[in-house]
Amino acid sequence: MEDPGQYLAAMRQTAPLVHNITNYVAMNVMANVLLASGASPAMVHAREEAAEFAGLAQALSINIGTVSPPWAEAMAAAAKVASAQGTPWVLDPVAVGATDYRRALGARLVELRPTAIRGNASEILALAGEAGAGKGADSTESVETAEGAARALARMSGAVIAVTGAVDFVTDGERAARVANGHAMMPRVTALGCSLTGLVAAFLAGQPRFEAVVAALAYFGLAGESAGASASGPGSFQVAFLDALYAIDAEALSAGARIESA
Ligand SMILES: Nc1ncnc2c1ncn2[C@@H]1O[C@H](COP(=O)(O)OP(=O)(O)OP(=O)(O)O)[C@@H](O)[C@H]1O
Ligand SMILES: Cc1ncsc1CCO
Ligand SMILES: [Mg+2]
């Protein structure tokens, strides 16, 4: 993909308000990731206001990590508004293969037409109806194992599917790309996948879907590489990672992105 940096520049230019209905673990990490990157996050999940707030935002992310029934109703209501208004929204199906409740909720949210779905390999396999229980929120499968499921899920749902792991895979059902940026420390820090889902939402605001998702993944992975070069473990990695998201500009992203069509 030519010039992924333009999508970072466009996102920073608009500093989109990103509405996130996310999990308790991710809230702080994700809000900091979005702020460091140049977006404007708001974590809003009450049933009484989620739909109204979705109507104000430029993008929405929905993450089922610590869901319970009132949150599920807020998620569905917000997703309906976003889809009706043409606001991009991204689903993060955390541990969707683990329980019947998550499987049913995942299927219900997919029916509400997310613009993109971002998950690890086990989650994308499970959401596509294939095996892939995962180990709670962590993947037990490689990204390559989930590529076929990702293509099928893209065609079935109409969403761009991003499967993340050592090398990320993105497809809209027709086109596909691999993003090799990233660092092995990233899965040792909680909620980075969740935070990436919010960032994907931010990049999608007003931008073409496939390109925006690929650029968001490359930017996130490149920040991971930069942080990994100086960190001595997962603790210092988190701090260096926020600094790297802040420091990387459009030129650095275009120079450092490792994207190949697949
Ligand atoms: N082994 C690895 N090497 C390099 N980068 C990785 C590796 N594993 C994950 N990543 C990167 O980490 C980021 C988060 O992806 P990951 O697949 O770990 O999400 P996740 O499992 O949903 O995380 P969480 O549920 O903890 O939020 C992505 O940018 C991905 O490319
Ligand atoms: C650890 C964990 N448990 C539920 S959500 C979450 C954050 C990573 O997905
Ligand atoms: Mg996750």
Exposure class string for 43-53: b at 16+ Cβ within 10 A, else e: bbbebeebbeb
pLDDT of residue 1: 83
Other CB atoms within a 10 A radius of the CB of residue 235 amount to 11
At residue 200's C-alpha, the angle toward residues 194 and 204, to 5°, is 150
pTM: 0.98
Tokens, residue 35: 């702020």
Tell me the CA–centroid distance for residue 95 and ligand 2, in Å.
8
Name the pairing type of β-strands 176-179 and 168-171: antiparallel
Measuring CA to CA, how many Å separate 209 from each of 90, 102, 112, 164, 170?
A: 11, 26, 17, 17, 11
Q: Which atom of ligand 1 is nearest to the CA of 164?
A: 17
Measuring CA to CA, how many Å separate 190 from each of 26, 96, 118, 181?
A: 8, 17, 16, 18
pLDDT of residue 77: 98
- 96 ligand 2 Cβ < 6 A: no
How far is Cα 16 from Cα 27, in angstroms, rounded to an integer?
Answer: 18
Q: Which atom of ligand 2 is nearest to the CA of 190?
A: 8
pLDDT of residue 139: 87
DSSP structural state of residue 186: G
- 192 ligand 2 Cβ < 6 A: no
Q: What is the pLDDT along the chain (262 residues), one digit of tens a residue?
A: 889 999 999 999 999 999 999 999 999 999 999 999 999 999 999 999 999 999 999 999 999 999 999 999 999 999 999 999 999 999 999 999 999 999 999 999 999 999 999 999 999 999 999 987 788 898 899 999 999 999 999 999 999 999 999 999 999 999 999 999 999 999 999 999 999 999 999 999 999 999 999 999 999 999 999 999 999 999 999 999 999 999 999 999 999 999 999 9
pLDDT of residue 131: 81
**Bind-site residues for substrate:** 43, 191
Contact 88, 82 (CB under 8 A): yes
Name the pairing type of β-strands 116-120 and 160-164: parallel
Tell me the CA–centroid distance for residue 192 and ligand 1, in Å.
7
pLDDT of residue 67: 98
